[in-house]
Amino acid sequence: MLIGPLDADGAAAGEPDAGAGAAAAGGRPAARREAGRERQSGLDESAGRAETERFRPLSLVVPRTGERLVVAALPFPSERRLGTLFSADPAAEAMQDAYDRRVRALLQGMAGAFRPDAVNVVLTHLFVAGGETSDSEQPIQLGGAYTVRPESFPVAHYVALGHLHRPQWVAGAPAPVRYAGAPLQLGFSEAGFAKSATVLELRPGAPVPAPEGRPGAGGGQVKEVFLSSGRPLVRWRAEGGLAPVWRRIERGDDPTAWIELELALPSGADLPGEEEIRRLRAARPGIVGIRFAIAPVGPAAGAVRLRELPWDERFRRFYREKTGAEPGEELVKLFLAYLNELETEEDGDAAASAGI
């Protein structure tokens, strides 16, 4: 919950002037960068104070207990939302450092509203370095420019994070930091994930972070409540054909689940026909996806590493695995032509950057 508009009003400070940094550093590249960082740090603090006016923490009193809660709530802080360019340097490391500094300044500025007689909580949507991801998440440049270091958070009773679907604590922060995770499995890469809700009992006063980022006895108690509602996502794998699948259906395995079925077949084996697949889906409507894994046969199976094969053979193997059929020669030639075009463009870019 936020008070104040989310759009930018131009109050955020700009980036450091490269010429001033160069003059201060005597023209040396390393010194210029260091001078720029020092000046940028001051600008980040100023920008953080200005942005805090737009993202003012919410302070409220809990009627039942009379205790006060202060929530520093921050939606995903992109350049567009904050109305500022984090760094004029497009290098990944420079972007990462600039983003982390700006978010740190913003959160620290918001934490200025925290009170010793209140429960102080940070609520935000960020990717924190070291978080464990899954395939079902929409990337926000994971591990890249939009990443925040754990130590950038302010001291608080609790930091509640959104974005990652797997429940997890974040170590290395000055406060208990946790992704509660998504309440449902949002993709088959999350098959087997336990979903939960995090319930905290916090009291006003200084929080006492415990090891691994968990709240200590002085800061409150935490309980993970596992969720069982919703239909689970599971993966079935069958070797050699549909017979093992029919046995699982007859046994009533995973009766409430949505199922992704993988059929592992030897190279050259006949694929199930459309009528057979139709009967299978009618018998178990929970099967929402079927894919085929075509394995090589013989003593040489698995002996050759994929990277050692020529590109045309790699493409043929990929096509067989995904479709269960052999690609036509014209399709293989088209793939090789496209690959050659990409390599030519990359060589040209490298030559241009080297001044060739």
Residue 134 has pLDDT above 90, yes or no: no
What pLDDT does 308 receive? 65
List pLDDT tens digits, range 29-65: 444 445 444 444 544 555 555 565 678 899 999 898 8
Which range has the worst mean pLDDT, 87-96, 132-141, 260-269? Answer: 132-141
List pLDDT tens digits, range 268-277: 777 888 888 8
Quote the tokens at residue 224. 């993970």
For residue 1, give the 3-state DSSP assignment: coil
What pLDDT does 83 receive? 62
- Measured between its terminal Cα atoms, the distance across the chain in Å is 55
What pLDDT does 110 receive? 94
Which residue has better confidence, 44 or 227? 227
**Could you say which DSSP state residue 233 is in?**
E
Residue 217 has pLDDT above 80, yes or no: no
What pLDDT does 350 receive? 42
Q: Counting Cβ atoms within 10 Å, is residue 164 exposed (0-12), middle (13-18) or buried (19+)?
A: buried
Which residue has better confidence, 103 or 326? 103
Dihedral class, residue 181 (left if φ above 0, else alpha if ψ from -120 to 50, else beta): left
List pLDDT tens digits, range 107-116: 999 999 999 9
Instruction: Write down the pTM of the prediction.
Output: 0.61
